[in-house]
Amino acid sequence: MTDKHLTDDQLLLETDYTSYASSCRDPYITPTNDLVECRRQSGHDDTHATRSGLRAIRWAVPEPHAA
Ligand SMILES: [Zn+2]
C-alpha cells in the first residue's frame, strides 16, 4: 500500500470502502470542536483522515511507530 499525498478524492474513496470495524478509529477534535474518528484502513501509513461531508479531514499521526 502506497498512500503518500493522497488527494481528498482518494482518501474519501478509502474511507467509504473501509468498514467501521476495520478502520483506524483514531479520535480527533476538529477546529470546530467536532469529535471525529479516522475511517482509513487500520494500519494505514501517513495521516489519519475521515470524511466530513464532501471534504476529507486529515490530521497528523503524533509520532511514528518506534520498533
Ligand atoms: Zn488513522
CA 11 from chain centre, in angstroms, equals 7
Domain ranges, residue 20: 8-59
State in Å: Cα 59 to ligand 1 middle.
9
Q: Which three cell numbers stand for residue 12?
A: 474519501
Global model pTM greater than 0.85: no
pLDDT band at 61 (very low <50, low <70, confident <90, very high): confident
Within-domain flag for 67: no
Q: Which three cell numbers stand for residue 11?
A: 482518501
Q: What is the pLDDT of residues 14-41, one digit of tens each?
A: 999 999 999 999 999 999 999 999 999 9
Within-domain flag for 3: no
How many domains does the chain divide into?
A: 1
State in Å: Cα 67 to ligand 1 middle.
19
Residue 11 neighbours by CB under 8 Å, 6+ apart: 40, 49, 56, 58
State in Å: Cα 1 to ligand 1 middle.
14
- Ligand 1 is an ion; residues with CB less than 5 A from it: 24, 26, 38, 40, 48
